[in-house]
Amino acid sequence: MDIGFDFFAQLLGHSFSLWWVILPAVLLGIVMGAIPGFAAHNTIIILLPLTLVVDVEIGMTFMIALYCATHLGGGIPAILVNIPGTGGAAATTLDGHPMAQQGHAQQALMLCFFASVFGGLITSIITLFAMPYLARVGYYMHSVEMVVVMLFGLTLIAVIAAQDTLKGLIAGFFGLILGAMGADHIYAAPRGTFGFLELFDGVPLIPALIGLFALSEAFAMIEQETILSRAGQERMQRATWRDAFDGFLLALKHWWEVIWTSIVGLVIGVTPGAGASIAAFVAYQLSRVFSKSPEKYGTGHPAGVIAPEAANNGVTSGTLVPLLALGIPGGSTAAVMLIVLQYHGVPMGPRLFIESPLLAYGIFMSMVVAYIFMIPTILPMARYMSRVTLVPTKYLAPLITTFVIVGAFAPREYLFDMWLALAFGLIGYIARKTGYHVAAILIGVILGPLVEQSYLRALRIGGGDPLVLFSSTLGNVLWALLVISIALPYFNAWRRRRHHRRTRAA
């Protein structure tokens, strides 16, 4: 079959004809993404019998639309109540929630939705036309390169530590220690499990995420009447449709931020084993490094909302590249999709694009259409969802606690995970009250074991020689970029101080 403009035009029209599948999936995905613990793969697993009995094209279209929408939905509670709906939205809390507290919830939601929709749309189109080239990225991103990529995310701990060096570093290292729990990656010897078999696979992400952010936030809410500052409450009570439109214009001003951070997410998503959490933290850190005003990050800066949201939606198309091109699922959601494709006897790899090009390219085209369907929802969602910030905390706190405890139970269906979430909730609450940043703890929990795994694998490949970390050309380029990203903020700060001194002297 000739793959040209006519082919893609026909495919686009066909994907729009499946609106009756895409629209319900988008709405369901937004709702499930906004509930902590109910990520895309949980929802798809629940609906797996449905996707197995329908035609493979219908099933894949439904799963793809739902997958995209959950990433958009995850940013909603992250902004409104400081509770990320998914791991990929954890970095969104750093600037999104401060904006909401200041009464700019509509603008923050508009930034989130704009970055999510257009970041996902851009990367889906890129993937559609650059599939053969993107498939090769997985061949070049090995253990050495992944160590450096994840170190980009870990350097965010240093950024948080810049506000209070000692407390920031303590929180980060505490998270790394928690992340080291479970069986080690070489001999499978248990470490720090305290005899609990449920911790043998390491600290589960969802209970840790829910406890550190959701439950600790719910405990803190009880002590105050509203999550808004006094000025923020007055601003929200006067909010109109104009505020949502202002958020849209603000997002347009940062169009370049959306493009390049979504491409960062796409490249990280193409790498098997990476995911939205890594992409969001890496994009946030890179955005701050190359910003002209890095000191504004963490205070409600628009770029701090855009970068992680564009990146974690850029991941959506990236994770499907190794699945379709190599038969290797790029993440947990892609693994569930692989089950559906195998059940229907669909071949993976180059054969898929030769024997079933309509299905192979149709998957990415349905992703494009799903994001197009999300566009009309942007303004109304930002306008009405922002009103949640006006709800008194005496109603919000018990409601959040109920939902997130169920969310902690849902992924593995262990009662142990509910108690674990409560334990992390207490840790998070104590951290908040004593000035330690829970985001630094979570970064350690998420990225710590992944860095260790890639590092040990690289050492085994290199025969125990640590210099193997500098044996790759691409890896050395990434090392150089990492050093630049660490040094650049200090260089810019020195240059600003020198300019300020010159100005005062003149």
The length of the chain is 506
Which among 387, 283, 365 has a CA at the least distance from the CA of 317?
Answer: 365
Taking the C-alpha atoms of residue 466 and residue 479, their distance in angstroms, rounded to an integer, is 14
Q: Which two tokens stand for residue 376?
A: 């009309």
pLDDT of residue 276: 82
Any domain includes 13: no
Q: Do residues 287 and 262 lie in contact, with contact meaning Cβ atoms separated by under 8 Å?
A: no
Taking the C-alpha atoms of residue 264 and residue 279, their distance in angstroms, rounded to an integer, is 7
> Residue 31 CB: number of other CB atoms within 10 A?
16
Which long-range contacts link 347-354 to residues 24+ away (Cβ below 8 Å)?
348/323, 348/324, 349/325, 350/325, 352/324, 353/131, 353/324
pLDDT of residue 303: 93
Q: In this structure, is the dihedral angle defined by the CA atoms of residues 406, 407, 409 and 410, taken in order, positive or negative?
A: positive
Neighbour-count burial of 452, counting CB atoms closer than 10 A to its CB (0-12 exposed, 13-18 middle, 19+ buried) = middle
The Cα-based distances of 109 to 243, 302, 305, 353 in angstroms read 11, 10, 9, 38
Q: In this structure, is the dihedral angle defined by the CA atoms of residues 258, 263, 264 and 268, taken in order, positive or negative?
A: positive
Any domain includes 15: no
Number of domains in the chain: 1
pLDDT of residue 22: 92
The stretches of 180-290 forming alpha helices (DSSP H) are: 205-209, 216-221, 230-237, 241-253, 255-270, 276-289
Which among 72, 74, 79 has a CA at the least distance from the CA of 300?
Answer: 79
pTM of the model: 0.84
Which among 173, 170, 162, 167 has a CA at the least distance from the CA of 490?
Answer: 162
Phi/psi at 489 (5° precision): -60, -40
- Residue carrying the six token digits 């710590």: 448
Report DSSP letters for 55-120, one per residue: -HHHHHHHHHHHHHHHHHHHHHHHHHSS--SSGGGGGGHHHHHHHHHTT-HHHHHHHHHHHHHHHH
Any domain includes 12: no
Q: Do residues 323 and 329 lie in contact, with contact meaning Cβ atoms separated by under 8 Å?
A: yes
Any domain includes 17: no
Phi/psi at 94 (5° precision): -60, -35
Which among 451, 497, 466 has a CA at the least distance from the CA of 155?
Answer: 451
pLDDT of residue 423: 93
Q: Which two tokens stand for residue 249?
A: 């214009």
Any domain includes 386: yes
- First-to-last C-alpha distance (Å) of the chain: 70
Q: Which two tokens stand for residue 149?
A: 């990529």
Q: Do residues 127 and 321 lie in contact, with contact meaning Cβ atoms separated by under 8 Å?
A: yes
Taking the C-alpha atoms of residue 86 and residue 74, their distance in angstroms, rounded to an integer, is 5
- 3-class secondary structure, 410: coil
DSSP state letter for 462: T
Domain of residue 375: give its range.
Answer: 22-505
- Residue carrying the six token digits 């909302």: 305
Angle at 68 between CA 65 and CA 72, to 5 degrees: 130
111 contact partners, CB below 8 Å, separation of at least 6? 96, 247, 250, 251, 254, 302, 305, 306, 309
Any domain includes 1: no
Per-residue pLDDT of the chain (506 residues; tens, 9 = 90+): 556 678 888 888 989 999 999 999 998 888 888 877 677 777 787 788 888 888 889 999 999 999 999 888 888 889 988 888 877 888 899 899 999 988 888 999 999 999 999 999 999 999 888 877 776 666 666 778 888 888 877 777 777 766 677 787 888 888 888 888 888 877 778 888 888 888 888 888 888 888 888 888 888 888 887 777 777 777 777 777 788 888 889 999 999 999 999 999 998 888 766 678 888 888 998 898 888 888 888 889 999 999 999 999 999 888 888 888 777 776 778 878 888 888 888 887 777 877 888 888 888 899 999 999 998 887 788 878 888 888 888 888 888 888 888 888 877 888 999 999 999 999 999 998 888 888 888 888 888 888 888 888 888 888 888 888 888 888 888 888 888 877 777 777 777 777 777 777 76
- 3-class secondary structure, 46: helix
- Residue carrying the six token digits 């990236």: 318
Any domain includes 14: no
pLDDT of residue 1: 52
Query: What one-letter code names the amino acid at 296?
Result: K
- 3-class secondary structure, 196: coil
Any domain includes 8: no
